[in-house]
Chains A and B, each alone.
Chain A
Amino acid sequence: MSTSLTKLQKRIKARLYLDAVLPAFEDFIANSDTAKEILGERSFTLSFQTYSGLRSYLHFSDQSCSVTKTRSKGSDIILHFLTEEQLNNEFEKTGFRLPIPLRGASRLTDIRTFKALSSLLEVSLRPSEEELKDPNFYSSHVALQLGVALRAAVTLTQHEPCAKRILSGIPEGLAHFSIGDEGYRAWIDWKGGRLKPGKGKPEKEPDVSVTFKDAKTALQAIGNRIDVLAAVGLQDITIEGYAPLADALGYIFERIPLYISP
């Protein structure tokens, strides 16, 4: 997407960082011994918020993380951004981005812990070619990326006019996504006017099943970096069942890189 974003686009981007990227901490810490070690016995809540009212809370405790939209208890640390653009800059490490620490500025150990976890997560989300050669690392990277994509799709369909329009044009249904050699499974249920994502195999028979030959194909397809129709013809991607649902979700996935590259 061009650098001159509209106000709405900046807000959508900020929502994607808060609602799709930040929750990656949950899976990341759950699956990383290094992250657990860094977190140790620490327990704190950190919130990102903007002057316009967007916010997400990260609760760290018991060597785990949960990300919520609502505050379960007073935040220990509040990072306040005057504009959505500043929040976006913080995630992209560009431009002016200094948040105002409305609370918790003195909790230096917690802030340092969060920064260390953030750096580690960033490496997992944006690894080097060398790092990707480690199969365990690669597997974790794929799971994180796909998790971000699933949540981002949900966010887009809630807030982006084009994604809303795409979704409104298709019948409700359950889509199941899997990766052949990785065993990764996830699903999206389009029902009652909203998308609900989940990990693992869905409890009921899906209306459409999309299977990617391997993780690389899945990431390239979701990142809009391959010719999906050709991949389907080559059977690198197989689609069984009600394909219009998979098509529509595919169009929505393809919109994610317009805003963020997780």
Chain B
Amino acid sequence: MKSFKKTRSLFARASKVIPAGIYGHASPAMMVPGAFPYFAKAAEGCRYQDVDGNSYIDYMCGFGPILLGYQHPEITQVAREAEVDGECFNHPTEYSVRLAEKVVEQIDRADWAVFGKNGSDMTNWAIRVAREQTGRKRVAKETQAYHGIDPWCVPGYGGVIAEDRSQVDHFYWNDVSSLEKLIAEKADELAAIIVTPFHHPNYADSELPTSDWVGALNRLSQKHGIALILDDVRSGLRLHANGSHCRYGLEPDLMCYSKALGNGHPISACAGTSAFKVAASKCFLTGSFWNCAVPMAVAMKTIEITERDAIPEQLEERGTQLIEGMLALGKRYGIPLRASGEPAMPYVRVAEDSSFKRQQQLCAAAVQEGLFLHPHHNWFLSAAHTEEIIKESLQSFERALISIIET
């Protein structure tokens, strides 16, 4: 039985000096409190240790950033080399130019790029660019889609006023008619449609885009002069080395990246087509640490390795192995499971479990077996999840399944 003694003690301290103890997506409340680790200590490859010394094969990868594996040797080396000259200066370094060139070379449809630190920096800025370009105010988003922590889209209601969301409209994923209806009513007011490449809401199965959906997004945005913004923050570099839109045939005007781009180093990017470059130049964008050198050097290397080692293809193969193995085990032990999403970012859950209680039991049991699986959020694979690691994971998963049969 794993012990969480230090976890509990540290969280008790945290809760006295940090609102919520741990806030945001890492909050214990988002997982299974008491049955999950709260604080990390160290990580390497696809494994990490919590503060109690428990070790896990990690299927969240820092909630996405770890694409190549923790402490990937080439990334570590590049970071060390870059930091020798310093990190934060009065000016950008040469890395910013080289990284922008790399993004333009690598990402389909990209004619320019800018950089920030987090996905929210870029999704918000992209909306401003769309407004500058179109002269319109409104933004359309999928009802449940997550696009960051700014008031127009942040989950929850704390500190949000109705006016923050007064320019936001909603449509439903893969529901062409809901998008057509919205555009029929508000095309002249819509500056942007913002979408993720595929739909990955919490507490629900993921959904891939239908060809009709992709076609409608392209057709309607182009016909009505609405900027199509791709929020590729979560999926970028995992599904396709040239951007996730290449996997599905989307034709975005602006594309936002973060997470995997720096393999754990803080960096985000927005790339766009040439038509939006003048508008982009007019939208003030800055942050004290946004020109830091090391994450930019690392991002260049991450993009290079992703292409060189065909990382998306690797992840798809390993993810498929994981999903097929889990589904077969579920069948064997009489616990029907359902898989959704992309193999590189799968979500496997107990079928016919609308309350997610069995899913929470299963994931808590998996944690006991050294497997970190989120009960309500899509998972992530990294290049460090080798065939052998997947086999080991399936053995742990089998033990977790057996342990919940009796409950």
Residues of A within 8 A of B (CB): 161-162, 166, 169, 173, 205-208, 227, 229-230, 232-235, 238-244, 247, 251
Contacts and interface: CB of A to CB of B under 8 A. Distances in A.
B203 A229 contact: no
12 contacts: A169-B143, A207-B354, A229-B21, A230-B14, A230-B15, A230-B19, A230-B20, A235-B34, A241-B357, A243-B29, A243-B203, A251-B156
A240 B360 contact: yes
A244 B15 contact: no
A227 B15 CA distance: 8
A205 B354 CA distance: 11
B284 interface: no
Contacts of B33: 232-233, 235, 238-239
B19 A227 contact: yes
B363 to A, nearest CB: 13
Given A233-B22, A238-B33, 17 more contacts: A173-B355, A208-B355, A227-B19, A229-B29, A230-B20, A230-B21, A232-B27, A234-B11, A234-B12, A234-B15, A235-B34, A239-B29, A242-B354, A243-B30, A243-B376, A247-B156, A251-B156
Nearest to A207: B355
Nearest to A241: B355
Interface string B190-218: 00000000000011000000000000000
Interface of B: 8, 11-12, 14-15, 19-23, 27-30, 33-34, 38, 143, 156-157, 162, 202-203, 354-357, 360, 376
B272 to A, nearest CB: 31
B389 to A, nearest CB: 30
A50 B354 CA distance: 44
Contacts of A208: 355
B356 to A, nearest CB: 6
Given A233-B38, A235-B33, A227 B20 contact: yes
Contacts of A166: 157
A162 B157 contact: yes
A229 B355 contact: no
B149 to A, nearest CB: 15
Contacts of A173: 355
A238 B143 CA distance: 28
A175 to B, nearest CB: 10
B258 to A, nearest CB: 24
A251 B355 contact: no
Given A162-B162, A238-B33, A241-B357, A229 B23 contact: yes
A232 B28 CA distance: 7
Contacts of A239: 29, 33
B242 to A, nearest CB: 35
Contacts of A229: 19-21, 23, 27, 29
A205 B355 contact: yes
What are the 6 A-B residue pairs with the smallest beta carbon separation, nearest first? A229-B20, A230-B15, A233-B28, A241-B355, A232-B29, A230-B21
A233 B21 CA distance: 8
A32 B28 CA distance: 41
B360 A233 contact: no
